[in-house]
Structure 1
């Protein structure tokens, strides 16, 4: 999702400026408890309608063309604007969201990079590049080949982008940027994460030095370093070349709004490393974070879901601790993120969990099973903190109705839409966060706990059906995803109704349904007294005791 770190501070301080950003976590086989690879993606934008993209694969005749429609113009998603056409592949694969039928997953975050390289000449934007990769590749390496060759042949049409790419065996980061106005092609580097490690990126390029003579570990465009030398951006030895430092120089915004999210993922997954906060605070002399780390414990799907639920709790960035959180400890700040008071610039934190998430997922690729059974996209809409991740097989024949394209849209509310139903609950929860989030998480844990507990039985049933006929397994997995989503939708609507009943007009009903009026937290009352105490102080009148209500 688009973010421009090179001008981010100005963006943060611009009143009313739109801000889109995303977060990816990457988990290799050796870092997961069951040997699966996992990628997370939070697709964040104030104008993104969350739905599960779905396109069936097929065979295509010679001469067929694939139209390229702009997926992201920077402020509007899936604009439908035609950018051009390229020859269709003879065979394309079905894609379910950002995972295809072979368990290949591709996600992204936009880092922007050097302004001079914006608006390159080409017709393939980064969103289209992702979905072309999913349609034409079976493995992560094939996806890198497809994506880079398409960009080279037809031109790249976006700013700097970090892609997460995983199949059941390998996990890669591919970073790409165009060559500037009027220049076709792309500059790129791809790095395979060592098994047993995790990585992350969040709108800032992260690949620095990389092995240049080891194609099993790193791949890169032939003009990557010569182009930088020609522009005068790099003058050292080839071995010292850094993609991130050359093509996406750090700014305060890139550190505080982007790298800080990576730091928070790393500090939670590997607290033993004690990764200091000084780097993301832009302290002079601080060392950059590593591209990848080894987690203290191997991660399962639940762990990864929880890592994507983060407001910097327990750190000095904790968004529940300052007066901006209000009496009920709301860990969100409405946009714009930046503001100026008495000539001094300030910024609100940009956490992983954010109100403007359109959709998010945790992909799980399990190579020891047939692809339709092994590939699971744990999919949710709206805020990662309040969503419920539903297990959706990469072998489904159609998406659940509540997630499907066409069920709803960004322009009007609909109870049939998962996006709107979840937003209804989360936005009401924001009004009394510390109390209501307890009610939300109770139901969230109920459903996610059941989904996770039932997954082994679902796998067993699907595998037995697959042995009889792969089509039977796909039918079963399609029905399962639809039924679970339908049950979730009914329960989530009921949750919204119960929240309004329980917290009507500032009241709080207790376990007996009786209306009570809990006192506001004392620290918040002290803030009121400090700011307005002289006006609201109770005083004696004519020597009499004050009235009591």
Structure 2
């Protein structure tokens, strides 16, 4: 009787995926503090079409509103205001808990950019991904002016290349101070992609330390919340850059004796090794013959993929939950399925994955499963997580006009379930529903809830809904790429003819139409799953 009750309770607990209970991952005492983003980078010679790719999952309760900020011109006396607190606002005009912390000289002119929680793409095909790498608390100095999102914003407003962005960020940190935890931003342009890691210098020093390493053009790399930059060959400035204090600060902070081999991740990262499950899985997936060892002290910073990587491949990696591997969290969640003949007599049985098993169990679900049988679910930090705010995969292509050469394949909520919407670098407007964040509360006008409701309902019986939902994801992915090729050709001709305004209007309309189609389909799925599961399953 007790076991029957507990099994019923287990089913109910899994159904509680309706709630946003999983992983704030933002508090220092949380065991998974900092495991909040994933960025995959691909060099132009490693992609199937010659594009450069960077990407980002914003995992946590960060804002989901986004806007296009227009290019501007300023007079010589103008200043740029620097804020803290913008990551948790509900709209662009919500100033609650937003604090002005300083001002710097404004540029004469700025570029338009896509203003996500962590700003990500400008009109000149400069793109940035982000992952928090935390680092030792003693390096943090919250008196520094800049948080990482503000550094990204200024770089996108003022720069056209990854190298210039890194140099500008370095100058700003040195002059005004870095006030954030350890951060990595993956900066790409039409030619190359770099990984930049930044830390503070401790509470007694306004400034910061940083190092940047370029992903070779024929390689793929990943940052997933752990510092990964190792040896610094600063004589090779085509692949390495660093702050001028990178070695001296390490000695002053007593993190390096000046004799031991200097590895950036070891000195500043405060970790035992520069990788965990996500880094290992992604690099192993693209270069399986390397036979990478999860128990190794260190993995390669990047690897040469055995096959050229398409943007579809990167999108697929962001849906990854390790299904079919030893890291699959559903592998032990099984039930017996009986077979019947025409007379409804049992003629056999199979052991199958339980219909309600899915790869995003809450802590309560894991605890209950492991209470029933120890070791049933061993937690693994999957690439796709249910607590994702938004994600994007950005392509940068130098053979196309900037307006369509840069495209952010954007999705709300769980990247393992949601469709991706193309937002081009030349866009000037976004759909109305993108103006509202749905993370503080349920808002019917916030775009994220157009997807989240169906996504959460689907997990009630994921083994029965997954095939349909993934078919719809694949449909919109193919549609975006196929229709996008036609659109890009049309936009290129308009730009060549000097009709830039018409080109931008067409881009805006395309994103609105594509968004509307995905929202409509996910509403149909929501209604279908309510009908299917509303009275139980």
Q: TM-score range by the shorter chain?
A: 0.7 to 0.9
Structure 1 position 410, deviation (Å)? 2.8
Structure 1 position 20, deviation (Å)? 5.4
Check 1:167–1:73 CA distance in 2 against 1; reply closer, same or farther (3 A cut).
closer
Structure 1 position 237, deviation (Å)? 4.4
Instruction: Classify the secondary structure of the residue corresponding to 1:349.
Output: coil
Check 1:143–1:428 CA distance in 2 against 1; reply closer, same or farther (3 A cut).
same
Partner residue of 1:454 out of 475, 483, 487: 483
- Contact 1:165–1:171 under 8 Å retained in 2: yes
When normalised by structure 1's length, the TM-score is 0.82
**1:431 equivalenced with 2:460 (yes/no):** yes
- Contact 2:141–2:205 under 8 Å retained in 1: no
Partner residue of 2:283 out of 238, 263, 266: 266
Structure 2: distance between partners of 1:126 and 1:503: 43
Equivalence for 1:22:
37
Structure 2: distance between partners of 1:260 and 1:72: 31
Check 1:288–1:159 CA distance in 2 against 1; reply closer, same or farther (3 A cut).
same
Equivalence for 1:372:
403
**1:55 equivalenced with 2:55 (yes/no):** no
Structure 1 position 123, deviation (Å)? 1.2
Q: Which moved more, 1:447-456 or 1:350-359?
A: 447-456
Structure 1 position 57, deviation (Å)? 1.7
Structure 1 position 121, deviation (Å)? 3.0
Could you report, residue by residue, the CA deviation over 1:24-59 in whole angstroms, capped at 9, with x for unpaired residues?
Answer: 0001101101100011100000x2232334211210
Q: Which moved more, 1:94-103 or 1:61-70?
A: 61-70
Q: How do 1:274-285 residues align onto structure 2 when only pairs under 5 Å count?
A: 274-278=291-295
Structure 2: distance between partners of 1:336 and 1:244: 34
- Contact 2:90–2:438 under 8 Å retained in 1: no
Structure 1 position 67, deviation (Å)? 1.6
Partner residue of 1:418 out of 447, 470, 485: 447
Partner residue of 2:306 out of 296, 313, 316: 296
**1:499 equivalenced with 2:509 (yes/no):** no
**1:313 equivalenced with 2:342 (yes/no):** no
- Contact 2:185–2:197 under 8 Å retained in 1: yes
Q: How do 1:141-180 residues align onto structure 2 when only pairs under 5 Å count?
A: 141-180=163-202
Structure 2: distance between partners of 1:164 and 1:224: 19
- Contact 2:68–2:427 under 8 Å retained in 1: no
Structure 2: distance between partners of 1:310 and 1:106: 22
Structure 2: distance between partners of 1:76 and 1:405: 9
Partner residue of 2:271 out of 250, 257, 260: 250
Equivalence for 2:346:
none
Q: Which moved more, 1:443-452 or 1:363-372?
A: 443-452
Partner residue of 2:507 out of 477, 502, 512: 477
- Structure 2: which 5+ runs fail to align? 1-22, 335-352
Check 1:433–1:266 CA distance in 2 against 1; reply closer, same or farther (3 A cut).
same
Structure 1 position 100, deviation (Å)? 0.3
Structure 1 position 2, deviation (Å)? 9.8
- Contact 1:199–1:293 under 8 Å retained in 2: yes
Check 1:67–1:390 CA distance in 2 against 1; reply closer, same or farther (3 A cut).
same
- Contact 1:121–1:183 under 8 Å retained in 2: no
Structure 2: distance between partners of 1:159 and 1:96: 24
**1:401 equivalenced with 2:418 (yes/no):** no
Could you report, residue by residue, the CA deviation over 1:315-373 in whole angstroms, capped at 9, with x for unpaired residues?
Answer: 2211111349965321112148997999x999622111101100000000001111001
- Contact 2:34–2:132 under 8 Å retained in 1: no
- Contact 1:100–1:394 under 8 Å retained in 2: yes
Instruction: Classify the secondary structure of the residue corresponding to 2:271.
Output: coil
Structure 1 position 19, deviation (Å)? 6.2
Check 1:506–1:314 CA distance in 2 against 1; reply closer, same or farther (3 A cut).
same
Equivalence for 1:515:
none
Check 1:337–1:207 CA distance in 2 against 1; reply closer, same or farther (3 A cut).
farther
- Contact 1:71–1:128 under 8 Å retained in 2: no
Structure 2: distance between partners of 1:143 and 1:347: 41
- Contact 1:2–1:74 under 8 Å retained in 2: no
Check 1:164–1:76 CA distance in 2 against 1; reply closer, same or farther (3 A cut).
farther
Structure 1 position 274, deviation (Å)? 2.1
Could you report, residue by residue, the CA deviation over 1:52-83 in whole angstroms, capped at 9, with x for unpaired residues?
Answer: 34211210112222222224679999952322
- Contact 2:36–2:58 under 8 Å retained in 1: yes
**1:328 equivalenced with 2:356 (yes/no):** yes
Over the residues paired in the alignment, what is the CA RMSD in angstroms?
A: 2.8
**1:392 equivalenced with 2:397 (yes/no):** no
Equivalence for 2:98:
80
Structure 1: distance between partners of 2:181 and 2:42: 26
Instruction: Classify the secondary structure of the residue corresponding to 1:12.
Output: coil
- Structure 1: which 5+ runs fail to align? 279-285, 508-549
Could you report, residue by residue, the CA deviation over 1:280-335 in whole angstroms, capped at 9, with x for unpaired residues?
Answer: xxxxxx23111100111111111110011111223221111134996532111214
- Contact 2:132–2:225 under 8 Å retained in 1: yes
Equivalence for 2:237:
215
- Contact 2:34–2:133 under 8 Å retained in 1: no
Structure 2: distance between partners of 1:411 and 1:136: 32
Equivalence for 1:523:
none
How many residue pairs get aligned? The number is 484
**1:32 equivalenced with 2:32 (yes/no):** no
Structure 2: distance between partners of 1:350 and 1:83: 35
Structure 1: distance between partners of 2:182 and 2:25: 9
